[in-house]
Structure 1
């Protein structure tokens, strides 16, 4: 399982962890946009520590915290939530399209930047004009969670919203805040190019397919692969099989695995969740 917390990043856990829904792995690019500056009137960059305290300790900031705050001028990174939890940087209307939870992971990165910010007497109009220190490390961490090096709605080049609900629901990869349904922000404007390998190797293990996947009659090779892993862990209750259809025996077997993972009561009901699923390491099919 990849690291829940980015190696080398400062960890400032805001709590209130909650699972994602499963599905295509995503990363969301934001800029903090703390001040409105212009070419004629640039403004000093807001200190990194100010934003760290805002997201990590301020009540309003914690309610909108991303996974990562990245300083492209120094390479510093602070992480507020583990990668397998949803974060809160996207608007998500009740009953509408899921945003913060819409994937096996939805890793949200806030770059400390606004257009025409001034750092050490130099003004930066675009994020890609900054040194982008630490980008390789952030990208490597996002890749480790199976997010591919693609922009399904195009790499951001301006502050124009381009949103497509069907693409958002079905595609894995990187999205700008300007690409996400139910949101009206236009950032990040630009974002650094992918470095190193142009594609991410296919993950070795099946991403969590979501709670709704596990219902009586569901047929999938994923069910078979899961059952074989449960048998290998000594939790299988099967007399025949496992798979390819989800049955009550699968539920009994998975409940045994949940108890192995120290879950009890209603938390060991036999319906897979993202944490125990990641620990089971179901091979990719």
Structure 2
């Protein structure tokens, strides 16, 4: 007779990324090395400025932003990315104050006002999203997450850049351009992403009762979670059955968004957990990844894998 045991985890898959120890900031990304340069002059040029004089001011502002913007492309750690974002936000606020002190001709006033507004939006977003971005960088990598920040910065400033271009004015030449976002490939529900080792007669039915996609790793005894016997992908609210499992094993699972097929990981909003118990060999088990009264399976957060 087949043995079935209903299991459900006692917590939701909504926690932050796994508790990976903090890494030391990479050289070149500390606040002391990314100090905000002062504007060329603290006293605004007498106005109203015509197009030529205003372009000169925009060029100076580009120079102020060059170093902090470049730092985004050089980060190597989650902490370094967060610090680079905060430093760039300070720079944007600095040039915003500079712009607010300028007076321009009526022909330029609309673009001038929009530029100030969009710089403020970009600075606020960088400041408010620094912590979450740091968490995403721990699971998706600092370089990938930095590129997302760079694209968002250009999106925040785009309307102002377009209006300036219509006036034959240039701004933002020092801003990094990582190109378009890579196309996301989301596996189908139940796709087996990894299968290695000998086959057995064990069976596991998994139900994902959460609102996030999940990658389940069936890991043989003594093996790290990054070397599973089987890894299966479950979409939100989906379910699947894995057959031919060999030996006793542990269950690890990670959830999130923006699946990276090359590295088999989520790039944002990620969590990493494992079931505390070991699953016996050659048995059939059923697991429900949804909190439920009377649940009898404890889980623990683990480092990113």
**TM range, normalised to the smaller chain?**
under 0.3
Higher RCO structure (Cα 8 Å, ≥6 apart): 2
Compute the TM-score of the two structures, normalised by the length of structure 2: 0.26
Structure ID, larger Rg: 2
| Structure with greater strand percent | 2
| Structure with greater helix percent | 2
